[in-house]
Homo-oligomer: A and B are copies of this chain.
């Protein structure tokens, strides 16, 4: 009574589903590996590293909470809590913006800066092992191009841009 539905196969074998599935899995597996190695070598998560990196290489040496929310793909509420933890760990500092008193400037502490430099060496080495050395150099360019294209085209998209049938939104029930 529960054999795979033949009606389903034409639709679930779509090449787009395959590519997207590969994207999901490659992302998950690579992130997991890099996270585990970063914890082992520097005692921080991949997410913490990403924050340190974004703050550390910001042109002025700081980012706002909203900036950060965008690059780490969290809500601003999530970033508030993330910043709380990193500040408690002494890696970043909150500061106020001289030109807009709503804004919070996040900067690296000395400790954060040192840690970023140390972790970067390990992280780059890990990326070499898991990413660079595994890819065909020709495919590498196409990979960068494709990913950038996807990122860009999703940024353009806004809810409602899609031709979702008007009745579908109403019928969203279960």
In the complex this chain forms, how many copies of it are found? Answer: 2
Q: Which residues of B contact A115 (CB under 8 A)?
A: 174
Q: In whole angstroms, how far apart are the Cα atoms of A8 and B19 in the complex?
A: 35
Contact among B12, B73, B127, B138 for A56, CB-based, below 8 A: B12
**Which residues of chain A (48-75) have a CB below 8 Å from chain B?**
50, 53, 56-62, 71, 73
Q: In whole angstroms, how far apart are the Cα atoms of A3 and B61 in the complex?
A: 5
**Closest-CB distance, A71 to chain B (whole angstroms):** 8
- Given A8-B117, A11-B124, verify A154-B130 contact (CB < 8 Å): yes
A16 to B128, Cβ gap below 8 A?
Answer: yes
Chain A contact residues (Cβ within 8 angstroms of B): what range?
35 or more
A134 to B107, Cβ gap below 8 A?
Answer: no
B162 to A124, Cβ gap below 8 A?
Answer: no
Q: Which residues of B contact A142 (CB under 8 A)?
A: 136, 138-139, 142-143, 146
Q: Which residues of B contact A19 (CB under 8 A)?
A: 127, 131, 140, 143-144, 147
